[in-house]
Amino acid sequence: MTATAARERPGGVARVRELWRRFRREREDPAPFYSWLADELAADLDRRHGPLAGRRIVDLGCGPGYYTAALRALGADIVPVDNSAEELGDDPPAGALLADAGALPLDGASVDGVVCSNLLEHTPDAGAVIREIERVLRPGGWAYVSWTNWYSPHGGHDMSPYHLLGPGRGPRLYERLHGPPRKNRYGEGLFAVHIGPTLRLVRERPGLALIAAEPRYWPRLRFLTRIPGVREVACWNCVIRAVRLPDLTGVEGWLTDEQAARLAAAASRQRPGGRVVEIGSYRGRSTIVLAAAAPPGAEVVAVDPHAGNDRGPREWTGTQDEGEADHRAFLANVERAGVARRVRHVRAPSQEAHEAVAGELDLVYVDGAHAYVPARADIRDWGARVRPGGALLLHDAFSSVGVTLALLRELLLSREFRYRGRTGSLAEYARERPARGSVLAQLVALPWFARNLVLKAAIVAGLRRGPWPY
C-alpha cells in the first residue's frame, strides 16, 4: 500500500475500531494488522521527516519485514536488524542483519533514522538499545521507538491479564494454571518495560532530545503520557520520538545542553521545507542545533551583525575586532558541524534584516540584544511573522531584565501565542490560541526571575562566584 493510500484510511474512532478488528486476529493472521501499522507509520515518517527516498534507516526488531517493506516502498534505504532467525522467518527481508539491537554492527553517526517498533519489551536491557540508537544516528537524525508497556491491557502478551498482578507474581500464576506461554515467556522473551523509566533513559542520553511521547493507537491523547501512573495503564502501546543532537563540544555560547534539547525538539516539529530564523547567533552554538534538527529542505537563517556588542553577560559593548573574531568562529563552527550548507547568515542588526528574509516563518529563536527596547522589537516584529502553529522561543527569559519586561509586555496577555513552558531561561511559545492558565503559567516563573536577579547582583558585587544563571 502506498503512503497516499495510508493517508486516506479512516481516522478517529473508525481507525481505532478497524485496528481492534485486525488485532483480534493477530495471532492467527498477523499480516493484516502489522501491514496496516507499517503503512501508517511509513506515511507518518515521510510526512514528518521526508522525503524518505534515499535515506538510510535502521529497522530494529524487523521480524518478517512489515516495516522494512513499507519504508522501502517510499524509496528508503533500509537496514533490517533482528536477533532471532525464528522471527525473521523463512523469507526474511533482503539484507537483514542477525544482530543484537544493543550492540549493532554499524558505524557511529551512519544512519538518518531508526524505527524500533515493539522491540523494547523483548530485550533485557532497554537502556543498551537506547544508547545504540544514540550512537548510530547522525546529528539531526530521528528515532521512532514504540513498545507495549507492561501494565497496559496487552502488556503480558499471551499471559494477559495475569501480568496486571506484577512482573513477578503474574507470570508465575499464569504458568501454574496454564503452563508456559506459546512464546515470549517472561524473563526470556518478554520483560517489564514501563513508560516513566524509559522516558528517563532517553532524557539521560546527552545526544538525544525527546521530541514527543504519545499513545500509539490514539496519539491525540498524548497528554496521558504526562500523568505518572495513569500512563502506565492507559497507553496500550507507547511511542517515543527523539532527535539526535549535534556535538557542541568547543562551541562557545550560553545555551545549556538541556536548552539545546528543547530547541532541537521545537525545530524538528516544523514543516519540511519551512524557514527557521535565529536572532543572535554569536559563535553558532544554537545555529548548529537548529540546522541539525530542522526538517529536510528547511532553511535556517542566522541573523547576527557580529559587531562585537551584546556578546554575553555584562558585555553590552565590544570592539570591531571582537566582532570579527566571533564571525570567524561562527563560520568555522558551522562548517565543522557539517551544517554550513543549511545555514544562510545575514550579517545585519535584526531590525534591518526583515527584507533579507521572505515570507512567513515556521520558527523564530530570539537571543539578540537584551535591552528592553530592542528585545521588545524582536519579539513583536519577528514574532508577528511566525505562521499559525509555528514556534517562538526566547533565550534569557525570566533571567534578563530587558528580555523579561519585553516578554511580559508582548506575550503575557497575548491572544496569539500560547506559553508552552521553559527550560531554564529558554521560554517556548506556540502561535495558537492561548489555553486557560497560560497567563498563570508565565507568572509562576516570576519568583525564579527574582532569584536570578539576586544571584546576578551577588556575582557582580563579588559575593558569589558563578555560574551566571540561565
3-state secondary structure of 138: strand
Using pLDDT thresholds of 50, 70 and 90, give the confidence band for residue 311: low
Q: Residue 315's pLDDT is what?
A: 60
- Residues 376/401, Cβ–Cβ less than 8 Å: no
**What average pLDDT does range 407-418 have in this prediction?**
96
Using pLDDT thresholds of 50, 70 and 90, give the confidence band for residue 89: confident
Domain shared by 210 and 278, yes or no = no
Single residue among 206, 228, 244 that ends a domain in this structure: 244
Round to whole Å and give the CA distance between 178 and 175.
5
Of 276 and 89, more confident: 276
Round to whole Å and give the CA distance between 10 and 257.
40
In a domain, 173, yes or no: no
Q: Residue 3's pLDDT is what?
A: 47
For residue 288, the domain's CATH number is 3.40.50.150
In a domain, 324, yes or no: yes
Q: Is the pLDDT of residue 326 over 50?
A: yes
In a domain, 179, yes or no: no
Domain shared by 326 and 442, yes or no = yes
Q: Residue 20's pLDDT is what?
A: 73
Domain shared by 238 and 327, yes or no = no
Of 156 and 316, more confident: 156
Domain shared by 302 and 419, yes or no = yes
Lowest mean pLDDT among 173-182, 211-220, 360-369, 395-404: 211-220
Domain shared by 229 and 344, yes or no = no
**What average pLDDT does range 305-317 have in this prediction?**
71
In a domain, 182, yes or no: no
Domain shared by 38 and 134, yes or no = yes
- Residues 146/238, Cβ–Cβ less than 8 Å: yes
Which residues are paired to 346 by β-bridges?
A: 303
Domain shared by 224 and 361, yes or no = no
Total domains in the chain come to 2
Q: Residue 2's pLDDT is what?
A: 46
Q: Is the pLDDT of residue 74 over 50?
A: yes
In a domain, 172, yes or no: no
Mean pLDDT, all residues of the chain: 91
Is 462 exposed, middle or buried (CB count within 10 Å of its CB: 0-12, 13-18, 19+)? exposed
**What average pLDDT does range 332-339 have in this prediction?**
94
Lowest mean pLDDT among 83-87, 163-167, 279-283: 83-87
Of 40 and 7, more confident: 40
Domain shared by 211 and 322, yes or no = no
In a domain, 154, yes or no: no
- Residues 423/258, Cβ–Cβ less than 8 Å: yes
Q: Is the pLDDT of residue 7 over 70?
A: no
Q: Residue 36's pLDDT is what?
A: 86
Domain that includes residue 351, residue range: 270-460
Q: Is the pLDDT of residue 400 over 80?
A: yes
Q: What's the grid cell of residue 388? A: 499559525
Using pLDDT thresholds of 50, 70 and 90, give the confidence band for residue 155: very high
Domain shared by 446 and 367, yes or no = yes
Round to whole Å and give the CA distance between 12 and 452.
46
Continuous H helices in 269-411: 285-293, 320-336, 372-377, 383, 401-410
Using pLDDT thresholds of 50, 70 and 90, give the confidence band for residue 248: very high
In a domain, 340, yes or no: yes
Q: Residue 197's pLDDT is what?
A: 98
**What average pLDDT does range 66-89 have in this prediction?**
95
Domain shared by 228 and 320, yes or no = no
In a domain, 187, yes or no: no
Q: Is the pLDDT of residue 4 over 60?
A: no
Q: Residue 426's pLDDT is what?
A: 96
Domain shared by 200 and 314, yes or no = no
Domain shared by 400 and 316, yes or no = yes
Of 431 and 11, more confident: 431
